[in-house]
Amino acid sequence: MSIFKGSGVALATPMKENGEINYDSMAKLIEAQIKGGTDALIVCGTSGEAPTLDDPEHLDAIRFAVEQTKGRIPVIAGTGSNNTAHAVMMSEESEKLGADGLLLVTPYYNKATQDGLYVHYRKIASATKLPCIVYNVPSRTGTNILPETLARLAKDQKNIVAVKEASGNISQVAKLSALAGESLDIYSGNDDQIVPVCSLGGIGVISVLANVAPGETHDMVMMCLEGRYEEAKKLQLKALPLVEQLFIEVNPIPVKAALNMQGFNVGSPRLPLTEMTVLHKESLRQAMVDFGCL
């Protein structure tokens, strides 16, 4: 059974001026997402600045999201690591906190072999009853998990149920869909490829765009799932200029700037990420106006 179908927002983590998590702003973000039609919350992932969260605040952010959401939509906790034992610990703790699923990024920097990735993911998934989503993002991690490895994991570990595919390689998505079939749900990890991935069997997106345009991102997926591909294509193409601006600097620098423009007071990214340049802020603002989310 799928954790969700539709649009899962890769939620930004709001920060105060002193660098602490701003839970008042986080509550407003969550409520706006639910009201806007988002189908799942993904907390403490890349957009949530997980690399700069220490373990206590990382887990506290997950706890808060679970409590604020109150079961209205699934909460998926980012608990991946390049240290398998650490990922196991964070996953176990997130299960205790009431998370509905886990997002597990491919180990970064270590550059594990395909066999190493297989053992890594099975070790984590075996430590929890929660459904697990493998997050494949080679541009960030330096490692690509191959379709054959994903299909093997889905066959051998029943709570590995999905992949967030952010390789950008549509041929790889097609091969994965052919190999894994219905044993593995596929979510687009790229906002500019929602329609193509859904056309190959995907059931949704884990999205940065949804932070600022939750309704449109949800609608795009639903159009695909209902076979309304011409409408979905038009919305995908309309969103492209905004998606480009949301990645004109490294994520989540632009999306935090965009949310601040919308009045959510999410603050600045934590170092080593910095504020968006003035020039890029202006082009982002114009793209938001043109798309209708500002």
pLDDT tens for 116-129 read 999 999 999 999 99
Q: What is the mean pLDDT of the segment spanning 205-209? A: 98
73-105: per-residue pLDDT in tens? 999 999 999 999 999 999 999 999 999 999 999
164 belongs to the catalytic site = yes
5 belongs to the catalytic site = no
Which one is the CATH code of 6-226: 2.30.30.100, 3.20.20.70, 3.30.70.120, 3.90.730.10? 3.20.20.70
Q: What pLDDT was estimated at residue 2?
A: 86
Q: What is the mean pLDDT of the segment spanning 8-18? A: 97
pLDDT beyond 90 at 159: yes
Q: What is the mean pLDDT of the segment spanning 164-177? A: 97
Domain boundaries, given as residue ranges, for the chain: 6-226
Q: What pLDDT was estimated at residue 7?
A: 98
What's the whole-model pTM score?
0.96
pLDDT averaged over every residue in the chain = 97
Q: What gap in Å lies between CA 184 and CA 3, rounded to an integer?
A: 11
179-192: per-residue pLDDT in tens? 998 999 999 999 99
Of the candidates 121, 135, 187, 281, the residue annotated as catalytic is 135
DSSP-derived 3-state class of residue 285: helix
**Looking at beta carbons, which pairs linking 216-223 to residues 24 or more positions away fall under 8 Å?**
216/291, 216/293, 217/7, 217/9, 217/38, 217/191, 218/6, 218/7, 218/36, 218/37, 218/38, 218/39, 219/37, 220/7, 220/194, 220/195, 221/5, 221/6, 221/7, 221/39, 221/194, 222/6
Q: How far apart are the first and last CA of the chain?
A: 36
Non-local CB neighbours of 224 within 8 Å, separated by 6+ positions: 194, 195, 198, 199, 202, 232
Q: What is the mean pLDDT of the segment spanning 53-82? A: 98
Of the candidates 16, 118, 121, 164, the residue annotated as catalytic is 164
